């Protein structure tokens, strides 16, 4: 995501780029059909106290059993202290299905297999590649220069255990939900918010603890119009950051940040369409002005729908 060098919340915000659901021309329909081959095209504006300081583009391709996604963006200007720089990140992986513990519904989650990033800041470009296996980082290669100065030495070390049970910043923002829920409940239920996102971006290990805040509705200029789920988010730094980081000191544990999620039509996934982060000088906002999904091929009809 953009400005990974500025701390975990910036990395997550840009990475997710905040992401999003679609439903061109209206509320996205939720079905129990298999994943269609779907492409989501999203664009986000990054603003600080109402002033545009950057933008992010995000493309998500969802197949029957695999996914790939890439985001690129840039932020700069006098007010871009928290999100500054430009870059591109990309992920590929598998769509994993398993039965819920109560046996009532199939759970859907995304398992990354490969993650890459290229981030440029102050004229220096750093490339990174990671491979995953069942949520564990198996290989990590980075061309970042080795800096043996006091500030780099002050980083909290990332241990081997920190690389287990994790996801990359983009995949973490694409949340799977059960295809069936108790009668009377929609897909954007409060329980969907209540989860811990364990993230490793190749340098920093952190959690984003989500909890239900409220339901709302949102109309995006190009794309989605309908209900959204607003989750409170708390940053929990774990490793890879400097103990004296101003952003971590300010944002770590703060409880007034929020992410807005919307469903991706034709899938069992939700994705972010808006992020709000109050700061010492005003609110940093990453908000979608385009969130469109297109089915690349028709979804096969179920037996009940097939012609007689």
Query: What would the pLDDT profile of 75-85 be if each residue is shown by its tens digit?
Result: 766 555 555 67
Mean pLDDT of 43-58: 88
Which residues are registered as beta bridge partners of 95? Answer: 110
Mean pLDDT of 232-247: 81
Confidence of residue 247 (pLDDT cuts 50, 70, 90): low
CB distance 17 to 251 below 8 Å: no
**pLDDT tens, 131-152?**
999 999 999 998 876 665 545 5
Domains of the chain, residue spans: 4-295
The residue among 144 and 92 whose pLDDT is bigger is 92
Q: Which residues contact 112 (CB under 8 A, 6 or more apart)?
A: 91, 92, 93, 132, 167, 168, 171
Helices marked H in the chain: 8-12, 150-153, 169-172, 190-193, 246-251
pLDDT at 176: 86
Q: Which residue matches tokens 């009940």?
A: 304
- Give the closest residue to 11 by CA, choosing from 207, 165, 264, 253: 207
Confidence of residue 185 (pLDDT cuts 50, 70, 90): very low
Answer left, alpha or beta for residue 284, where phi above 0 means left and psi between -120 and 50 means alpha: beta
Question: Can you tell me the distance from the alpha carbon of 4 to that of 8, in angstroms, rounded to the nearest whole number?
Answer: 7
pLDDT at 61: 93
pLDDT at 155: 80
Q: Which residue matches tokens 């398993």?
A: 98
CB distance 285 to 28 below 8 Å: no
Confidence of residue 104 (pLDDT cuts 50, 70, 90): low
pLDDT at 24: 21
| Beta carbons within 10 angstroms of residue 106's beta carbon | 15
Confidence of residue 123 (pLDDT cuts 50, 70, 90): low
- Give the closest residue to 20 by CA, choosing from 288, 268, 259: 288
pLDDT at 241: 82
pLDDT at 111: 95
Question: Can you tell me the distance from the alpha carbon of 36 to that of 266, in angstroms, rounded to the nearest whole number?
Answer: 6
């Amino acid at each position: 995501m953009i400005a990974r060098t500025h701390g975990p919340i910036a990395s997550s915000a840009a990475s997710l780029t905040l992401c999003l659901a679609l439903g061109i021309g209206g509320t996205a329909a939720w079905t129990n059909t298999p994943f269609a081959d779907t492409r989501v095209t999203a664009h986000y504006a990054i603003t600080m106290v109402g002033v545009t300081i950057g933008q992010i583009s995000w493309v998500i391709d969802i197949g029957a059993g695999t996914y790939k996604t890439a985001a690129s963006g840039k932020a700069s200007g006098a007010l871009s202290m928290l999100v500054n720089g430009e870059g591109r990140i990309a992920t590929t992986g598998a769509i994993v299905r398993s039965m819920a513990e109560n046996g009532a519904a199939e759970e859907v989650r995304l398992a990354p297999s490969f993650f890459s990033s290229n981030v440029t800041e102050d004229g220096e470009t750093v490339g990174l590649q990671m491979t995953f296996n069942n949520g564990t980082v198996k290989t990590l290669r980075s061309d970042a220069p080795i800096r043996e100065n006091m500030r780099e030495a002050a980083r909290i070390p990332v241990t081997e255990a920190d690389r287990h049970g994790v996801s990359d910043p983009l995949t973490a923002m694409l949340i799977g939900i059960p295809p069936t829920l108790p009668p009377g409940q929609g897909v954007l239920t409060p329980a969907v918010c209540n989860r811990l996102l364990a993230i490793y971006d190749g340098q920093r290990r952190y959690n984003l603890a989500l909890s239900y805040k409220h339901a709302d509705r949102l109309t995006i200029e190009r794309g989605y119009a309908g209900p959204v789920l607003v989750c409170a988010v708390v940053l929990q730094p774990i490793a890879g950051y400097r103990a004296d980081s101003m952003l971590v000191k300010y944002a770590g544990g703060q409880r007034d940040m929020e992410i807005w999620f919307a469903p991706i039509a034709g899938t069992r996934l939700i994705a972010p369409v808006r992020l709000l982060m109050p700061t010492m000088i005003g609110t940093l906002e990453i908000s979608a002005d385009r969130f469109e999904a297109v089915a690349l091929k028709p979804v096969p009809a179920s037996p009940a729908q097939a012609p007689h």
